Structure formats: C-alpha cells, structure tokens
Structure 1
Amino acid sequence: MMNWIRKPFEKLALTELYDILQLRSEVFVVEQHCFYQDVDGKDVKGWHLMGYQEGVLVAYARLLPPGLSYAEQSIGRVVLKKEVRNGGLGKLLMQESISASHDVYGKKPIKIGAQFHLKKFYELLGFEACSKIYDDAGIDHIEMILD
C-alpha cells in the first residue's frame, strides 16, 4: 500500500526533508556515482511528491513551477528506492507526478530532463523528445515534453 503525500517545501516536516535528501543521495550520488549539486536552490520553490510504504520513503519527485528550470512546469529528481523498482511503481510515480503538477500549476505542458536510457519509459507516458542528447553530470539526458 502506497501512501502519497504532496507538499510545498515550507510545509515539509524535518523528517520528510531528511527522507527526501537521503533517498536522492542514495540513488543519484551513491548508486549512480553522480557527483553534482543536488541541493540546488530549487527545492524551496517547488512541491514535493513523496510515496511511503510502511513508513519508508520509496518514491519521490520534485514538481517545479514554470520559469524555474524551463519555461514550462517541470518534474524532476524522480527516484525510486532500489528495492521497489521493476514492479510498475515508476509508472505510478510519474502518473501521480503529472496529476499533482497539473493540480498545482495548471493543466499545461510539462517539461523534463530525462536520463536518456529512460526515454522509451517516458514516451509510454506521452512525453516526446524535444532536444538532442546532452551530458548532465556524466549521464546522457534528453529534454522531453508532455503537452
């Protein structure tokens, strides 16, 4: 059973913020060996979608307003705990993220900077590539948009 929680930064409890930063670090920095500035100043301006199972944060995405990362609203820092991958939770997380982003920022296009190896996954959700492949912290990415 997944417990979804959606909050703006200023409403996050300290334990929720800790859970978010721990999961992002666990996956992006340690697992993917990606050394980058995760705490980039955008968290404070966005909403945070958290998926808890049995009190453990296992799914997360950051929802940003138009004009911050892109002209469009965006979804980023999409992450699943390793133990829950390949069970359809990624699709559910993105569906929840899209719905939450539209609720918060309006039903307008959403732009993402996707890891290139996940391009087909995002295409199945309706996203279309809108850039060439580019390097972001040593990982190939591509910008994609959902109209």
Structure 2
Amino acid sequence: MEFKLKRFNELTVEELYKLLRVRNEVFVVEQDCVYQDCDNKDYEAYHLFCEDEGEIIGCLRILNRGVSYEEMSIGRVLVKEKYRHTGISREMMLKALKFIEEELMETEVRISAQVYIKKFYENAGFKVVSEEYLEDNIPHVQMLYKK
C-alpha cells in the first residue's frame, strides 16, 4: 500500500478518474444517494489517497480555509468496503491532520460527518459542534478539531 498526497493539478488523468470512480462507487451507489459529487471544490483541494496494487482503496480531500468553512476542512473521506476496519481510515486521517498542522500551519479543521461514524472522528480528536441535520438525506453533524 502506498499513500499519495497531491494537488488537483498534480493528479494524472488516470488518478483523477480512479478517485472520481471510487467516490461514486461509495457515496452514490453503495449509499444509494444521488448527489453532485463534482462540486468544483476538487480544484482547490489536496487529495490524499491510498493505493493497493494500482487500485485506490481509500481517499479524502483537504480544503483550505474559506472553501467550505472558515476553517480548514476534510471531506469525501472513504475506504472501500473490503478494506474497512483495517486501520487505513485512521492512518489516512492522521496523515491529513499532520499535513494540515505541520505543512499548512493550521490548527483548526471543520468537517460535516455522517452520524454513524461520529465515533471515528471523535477518536481522531474532533468534537461535535452542531445539532444533527440531514445532508443528502443522511444524518450529519458538524465537528471541529483544534490542536
């Protein structure tokens, strides 16, 4: 397995296609949720992804302050079903937070988290800062990480 971190313009066409494909596989097909994944925020994002033998098995995107929230943001977090509960998501999240803190010199990260995985984010240091709300008909809460 190999982790890669790239800006949008550094992604190869093949990497971009694989990222969009796995996001659609998980967020649209698996979660049975029709929504517009290509929201133009990818242009502004750092894309962290994990490959195993050429297949993207996990990914997330890191957004600068002002793109989604006043704070930095992490979104589109996923791990393919057969790789879940292996520690990949935790490793990926810790790498993202370390990059934000050490390379971007930021100390706060806001996310919109699906309620069913709230505990995962709490274990990474996030705290719930909103009431539950529906986003694309899925219960979410906003969570904030402060170093």
Q: Which category of TM-score, normalised to the shorter sequence, fits these structures?
A: over 0.9
Task: State the SS of the aligned residue for 1:75.
Answer: strand
Change (3 A) 1:48 1:104: farther
Match of 1:40 in 2: 39
Tell whether the 8 Å contact from 1:130 to 1:145 is kept in structure 2 after alignment.
yes
The equivalent residue for 1:31 is 30
Give the superposition deviation at 1:103: 4.0
Gap regions ≥5 residues in structure 2: none
Q: Report the Cα distance in structure 2 between the residues aligned to 1:46 and 1:89, rounded to whole angstroms.
A: 20
The equivalent of 1:51 in structure 2 is 50
Once residues 139 and 96 of structure 2 are traced to their aligned partners in structure 1, the CA distance between those partners, rounded to angstroms, is 22
Amino acid in the other structure paired with 2:18: D
Match of 1:93 in 2: 92
4+ aligned runs moved over 3 Å, structure 1: none
Indicate the residue corresponding to 1:117 in structure 2. Answer: 116
Matched residue of 1:141: which SS?
Answer: strand
User: Which whole-Å deviations, capped at 9, do the CAs of 1:78-134 have from their partners, x for residues lacking one?
Assistant: 011111001121111111121223344323201110001111111111100011111
CA RMSD of aligned residues (A): 1.0
TM-score, normalised with respect to structure 1: 0.95
Distance 1:132 1:38 in 2: 24
Does the alignment pair 1:66 with 2:65?
Answer: yes
Amino acid at match of 2:112: G
For residues 97-108 of structure 1, the aligned pairs below 5 Å read: 97-108=96-107
- For 1:6 and 1:96, how far apart are their aligned partners in 2? 9
Return the alpha-carbon distance in structure 2 between the equivalents of residues 104 and 22 of structure 1: 28
Count matched residues: 146
